[in-house]
Amino acid sequence: MKNLNPLVYFEIPVNDLDRAVEFYSKVFGYEFERGDIHGNEMAFFPYGDGMPGATGALAKGEIYKPTKDGAVLYLKCDKIYDILKRVTELGSEILFPKTSVPTGGFVAEFEDSEGNRIAVLGD
C-alpha cells in the first residue's frame, strides 16, 4: 500500500464559527482562512503544502452537529500543559488529563467551545 497515512482531511462541526475560530486561535495560535463549500461556512486550518499530515476545517452548516460522542481527532502540539491551561482559561473542560502513552509522548482530551471532544498528542 503506497499511502500509509490515510487521513487527508477532517471537519470539526461548529455552531458558531466566529467563536470556534477565536477558541482555536487562542488555544493553538492557528490562523484560519475562511471559505464556503457547498453552502457551508468553513474556517480552514493551516496547511503546509508538501508537509506530512492532514488538514481540515471548522465547519458550520445544517449537517454539522458538534458532539463529544463521535470520532476523536488528535491535534499535534508541543506542550500539552500549556494547551490545557489555555483551554480552561477559556472556560472549557478537560475530559481526559495529560497521560503518557506506551508508544511515547502524552495525550489529553478537552471539550472545545462548540462541545466537541478534541484530543492533543505531544509533550
pTM of full prediction above 0.85: yes
Domain residue ranges in the chain: 9-122
81: confidence class by pLDDT, cuts 50, 70, 90: very high
Percent of the chain surpassing pLDDT 90: 85
CA-nearest of 9, 15, 113 to 62 is 15
> Would you identify the CATH topology of the domain 9-122?
2,3-Dihydroxybiphenyl 1,2-Dioxygenase; domain 1 (3.10.180)
pLDDT at residue 54 greater than cutoff 70: yes
Place of cell 458532539: 67
The 10s digit of each residue's pLDDT in 14-52 is: 999 999 999 999 999 999 999 999 999 999 999 988 888
Alpha helices in the chain (DSSP H): 17-28, 80-89
> What confidence score (pLDDT) does residue 34 get?
98
pLDDT at position 49 is: 83
